[in-house]
Amino acid sequence: MSVGLEQFLIVSIILFCIGLLGVVVRRNLIVMYMGLELMLNAANLALVSFSHYRDNLDGQILVFFIITVAAAEVAVGLALIVALYRKRQATDVNELTSMKM
């Protein structure tokens, strides 16, 4: 079976589902963040493969922006996790259920 757009899309779907499963199942905030990164990467893979198979570079530009936004998001999110840990001494979401700091 020759490799086409469909195979790339299936890899991207499976990777997205692995990341989603990580966010849903794991209870550690940091590992949940890694699941988010996996989902963003899966979207990037789908965009790059579309852009290659349509001979259109707009998808790659979008991926460039997504990578930048993901870096900013990780920085802010990890700063939030550190601030939360200072208040509560926990990174497990089962212990972070009340809204009052």
Look up residue 79 and give its two tokens: 């700063």
Residue whose CB is less far from another protein, 57 or 99 = 57
The CA-based diameter of the chain, rounded to the nearest angstrom, is 56
User: Rule CB under 8 A: is residue 93 a binding residue for another protein?
Assistant: no
Check binding of 96 to another protein (CB under 8 A): no
Verify binding: residue 92, another protein, rule CB under 8 A. Answer: yes
Number of residues that bind another protein (CB under 8 A): 69
Q: Which residue has the tokens 């988010």?
A: 36
For Cα atoms 91, 24, 97, give the angle at the middle one, nearest 5 degrees.
Answer: 45
Instruction: Work out whether 88 is an interface residue with another protein (CB under 8 A).
Output: no
